[in-house]
Structure 1
Amino acid sequence: MDTIASLFSFITTPVSWVIVQFHKVYGALFGDDSGWAWGLSIVSLVVLIRICLIPLFVKQIKSTRNMQVLQPKMKAIQERYKNDKQRQSEEMMKLYKETGTNPLSSCLPILAQSPFFFALYHVLSSIASGKKIGAINQDLLDSARQAHIFGAPLAAKFTDSVDKLNSLDASLLDVRVVTAVMIVLMSASQFFTQRQLMTKNVDLTVKTPYMQQQKMLMYIFPVIFAVMGVNFPVGVLVYWLTTNVWTMGQQMYVINQNPTPGSKAQDAYLQRVLKTVDSRGQVRGRTQRRTVKAIVAKGPDRNDIERKFITGLSKKGLAAQEDGTVQKSETAVIEAEGGAAPKRQQPKRQTKAKRQTAATTGAAKDEPKDEPAAGAKTSLQKQDAPQDDKPTSAGKSASGSSRQAKSGQRKGPQRPKHPSKK
């Protein structure tokens, strides 16, 4: 233990110093030996660390979303180069570089917290063993050993023996009950955080193995925390429960204010924006204007939820502008990508009787034009040679053209047949 503590001395000293400074503040309110003074000092340490890690949390969100979007492309690369692992890795790295995605960014907050977690663990273990560490001197050590939270010392564990708990002036029942409740709350907060991420803040249009992995982690992580929690001191459980609650609240804020495109959370968020615009006639807040601006910039690349939002604005006679604001427009219509396209009105289909009547009428109009020519032809035929069959053939051709017109065939001069078809 001393060897491990010496390895983490570069971080245990700053952590113990921060705890001592917070203890001075809370000790003036609750008393130096109060469990609330030491417990709130640990909670304040968590809050301070998480505030410093907010930039990493933002990178984690961006990386997680980019990984979701890239899953189809990554799967295509794996199938294309499944027999060439080196080429597969090269194409993966090229894809990450082109999109600016870092797969490790999703783990940055956890990795950044790990040194502080181990440092606090060693500080509390040293307090349980009665050893000074970092900025905690003998007086502070005695004060910390006397501090209890609901009857459980900060340095006590679920697996501690009765003799060790007696040395810390605590009962086995109190320690077991307090640690069990904290372990359950710690695991439940971890499960709820992961669940709200999977059910509300995931793009439902992308079905990839990544989503299945996240679902598995949603059940695996709470079990891991429950198993490991029995070996954590009460102070470490306070630390981990506080950081889980912080993560849960931070995740809820992100889901409500900056949801993943294509998720249920985005649909709920845009509906709230639409109600705000309906009641106020304008987009309220910088965040909402930035969201509307991004939707307008996407153009035809909008997803179904974003098209639904643009449709809602158009129905209210409003048009989204490039700067994220909305303006009234009398000519506002639903965009092609924002809603259903206007239906093209097809002409009504006429009945067969009407089509035959129209064809007969057209043929009747054409007959007077052909009569002079037919009469002239008949007179010439009579002058040249008295043939009885000529008028009959002419009559047959006239009646034949009439029947062709009635049947809906093309009127007017017909194209001569090819000599081979005569």
Structure 2
Amino acid sequence: MLDFIYYPVSGIMWVWHWLFSHVTPDTPGGNGIAWALSVVFLVFTLRAILYKPFVKQIRTTKKMQEINPQLQAIRKKYAKDRVKMTEEMQKLQREHGFNPLLGCLPMLLQIPVFIGLFHVLRSFNRMGTGMGQLGMSAAETRSTGNYVFSADQVQNFLDARLFGVPLSAYLTEPVTEFQAFVTPGAEVDFTRMNIAYVVVPMMIIASIATHMNSRASVSRQPEAALENPQTRMMNNLALYIFPIGILVTGPFFPVAILLYWMSNNIWTYGQQHLVFGKIAKEEEEARRLKQEKLKANAPKPGARPDPQKKKGGAQPKQSGSVSLAKGGEEESATEADASSKTEDSPTSGAAGSKPKPGQKPNRSGAGAGPGSKKQSGNKGGKPNAKRGGGKRKR
């Protein structure tokens, strides 16, 4: 069903076992070391392949932390309109080049690898009747190949020991299946307690390593991200639930799977420090370049601003404004002369002439025309007559 996963996983493991089998002694214990190293370097190979997606995951996580306040604002603004909320959030993510899938891609890719390795390791012993098991006898399982591994290599794996126990043995394995790990008719050379001595410490180490990796990752998160309820929930899952899960499920995992888990945590711990250190240097370099650019654009200490730079762009405007002002004065003066001449002309004070629209009547020149006598008796002349009369009485 999942042969496209089982064959690549078993193929990588086969290559590493072939290499380490030429290095370690040709003994059951030596073969155990070779098989154990093949599992460890299978992990390292797969994590090296996933290195770039892991870096993208870290960068995506940092972007998520940067835009998280804006996402929270969108959630609050469109709390009653789920469609509009989704559209605005997607728009914001596109503007910042954020892809949520990249944040979980490395983890998603590790899941099929883990399932593939788990199935391949269990398939070395096919005496079980559970899922993926064929219910074979001890003799049949020792003479049946396992994907890319031949029947001889399957037998070599079953005979190999790590700390005195088989690599595919697990703590809850039925005693009847122990017969597959020895030649037919031979006495089993290990007990369930021997398996516990190896499995329990590995479970504890794997659990602690998982917690430490999660703790190192959480410590690098900004305070704003830690205030987010969803982030706090995920952090609690990574810090406590996942490590406890290893302790709970550890008795059902073969020794090689726990070895896989320990190796994976060791790689993750080193890779986190490497990637986070690299990103921190990039951010520091970006800040330094930004500061240098600001310093280059800023005036030097003690230097006075150049007045020519300030006047250079204003002089043309000033000269233009002065000329316009002068022109305006000349035009106003010309208009004033013209108006005075018009007012002084005989026709300007003619009787019955009306002032132009918006022009006030010229009272001072009213007596210059023929109708001056009549105008003196108008309302405008009454005050003068009264004042004159008053002087005569005195």
TM-score of the pair, normalised by structure 1: 0.60
Aligned to 2:247: 226
1:115-264 aligned at under 5 Å gives the runs: 115-129=112-126, 130=141, 131-165=144-178, 167-168=180-181, 169=188, 170-199=190-219, 201-206=220-225, 207-217=227-237, 218-259=239-280
Cα offset for 1:322?
Answer: 5.0
Bigger shift: 132-141 or 7-16?
7-16
Whether the aligned pair in 1 keeps the contact of 2:14 and 2:149 (CA below 8 Å) is yes
Whether the aligned pair in 2 keeps the contact of 1:71 and 1:210 (CA below 8 Å) is no
Whether the aligned pair in 2 keeps the contact of 1:11 and 1:116 (CA below 8 Å) is yes
Aligned to 1:9: 3
Whether the aligned pair in 1 keeps the contact of 2:124 and 2:158 (CA below 8 Å) is yes
Whether the aligned pair in 2 keeps the contact of 1:190 and 1:222 (CA below 8 Å) is yes
CA spacing shift, 1:164–1:98, aligned 2, 3 Å? same
Whether the aligned pair in 1 keeps the contact of 2:16 and 2:41 (CA below 8 Å) is yes
State the AA in 1 paired with 2:209.
Answer: S
Cα offset for 1:205?
Answer: 4.6
State the AA in 1 paired with 2:261.
Answer: W
Cα offset for 1:144?
Answer: 0.3
Cα offset for 1:135?
Answer: 0.8
- Total equivalences in the alignment: 271
Whether the aligned pair in 1 keeps the contact of 2:10 and 2:120 (CA below 8 Å) is yes
Which string of whole-angstrom CA distances, capped at 9 and with x for unpartnered residues, describes residues 114-150 of structure 1? 2221111111111022242211110000000011111
State the AA in 2 paired with 1:203.
Answer: P
CA spacing shift, 1:119–1:74, aligned 2, 3 Å? same
Aligned to 2:383: none
Whether the aligned pair in 2 keeps the contact of 1:56 and 1:108 (CA below 8 Å) is yes
Cα offset for 1:210?
Answer: 3.9
Aligned to 1:51: 48
Aligned to 1:65: 62
3-state SS of 1:100 partner: coil
Bigger shift: 201-210 or 109-118?
201-210
CA distance in 2, matches of 1:205, 1:213: 14
Aligned to 1:294: 286
3-state SS of 2:23 partner: helix
Which string of whole-angstrom CA distances, capped at 9 and with x for unpartnered residues, describes residues 340-384 of structure 1? xxxxxxxxxxxxxxxxxxxxxxxxxxxxxxxxxxxxxxxxxxxxx
CA distance in 2, matches of 1:82, 1:205: 21
Aligned to 2:77: 80
CA distance in 2, matches of 1:240, 1:120: 11
CA distance in 2, matches of 1:62, 1:96: 14
State the AA in 2 paired with 1:30.
Answer: T
State the AA in 1 paired with 2:207.
Answer: S
Whether the aligned pair in 2 keeps the contact of 1:293 and 1:322 (CA below 8 Å) is no
CA distance in 2, matches of 1:211, 1:230: 31
Runs of 4+ aligned residues of structure 1 deviating over 6 Å after TM superposition are none
Whether the aligned pair in 2 keeps the contact of 1:14 and 1:134 (CA below 8 Å) is no
State the AA in 2 paired with 1:150.
Answer: F
CA distance in 1, matches of 2:61, 2:212: 18
Aligned to 2:17: 23
CA distance in 2, matches of 1:296, 1:210: 34
Cα offset for 1:13?
Answer: 1.4
Whether the aligned pair in 2 keeps the contact of 1:293 and 1:321 (CA below 8 Å) is no
Bigger shift: 214-223 or 53-62?
214-223
CA distance in 1, matches of 2:271, 2:59: 15
CA distance in 2, matches of 1:176, 1:39: 18
CA distance in 1, matches of 2:96, 2:277: 26
State the identity as a percent.
32
Cα offset for 1:215?
Answer: 2.6
TM-score of the pair, normalised by structure 2: 0.64
Aligned to 1:271: none
Instruction: Determine which structure has greater relative contact order: mean sequence separation of CA pairs < 8 Å that are 6+ residues apart, divided by chain length.
Output: 2
CA spacing shift, 1:71–1:291, aligned 2, 3 Å? closer
State the AA in 1 paired with 2:163.
Answer: F
Whether the aligned pair in 1 keeps the contact of 2:55 and 2:275 (CA below 8 Å) is no
Cα offset for 1:297?
Answer: 5.0
* Unpaired runs of at least 5, structure 1: 1-6, 260-287, 299-319, 334-422
Cα offset for 1:163?
Answer: 3.2
Q: Which has the larger Rg?
A: 2
Which string of whole-angstrom CA distances, capped at 9 and with x for unpartnered residues, describes residues 44-81 of structure 1? 11111111111100110011111111221111111111
